[in-house]
Amino acid sequence: MLDFTHAAVAYCLAVALLYLGLWVYYDRVRPRRLSRPGRRHAFFCPRCQRPYEGAPGAETAHCPLCGKPQGRLRF
């Protein structure tokens, strides 16, 4: 029969493994997926108050409504 101490140790190990898995995911897997080449960049036109998408790798893109070139958004 499983007593309280064994159950508490098993619970702590399960929580530790969960956080280890989340850490590995956010540290290793996710940045690689976000930095794939060919990703489109976000742009924002302050005149039209509207976000839009540019060509992959472009540093500037023209607003589809007013045609004014804008630099890409950086977060």
Q: Which residue of 44, 48, 52, 72 would you call a contact of Zn ion, by CB under 5 A?
A: 48
61 binds Zn ion (CB under 5 A): no
By rule CB under 5 A, what string of x and - marks binding of each residue 8-47 to Zn ion? -------------------------------------x-x
H or E stretch covering 7: helix 4-24
Q: Is the Cα dihedral 32, 37, 40, 43 positive or negative?
A: positive
Pairwise CA distance, residues 41 & 58, whole Å: 7
Report the interface residues with Zn ion, using CB under 5 A: 45, 47-48, 63, 65-66
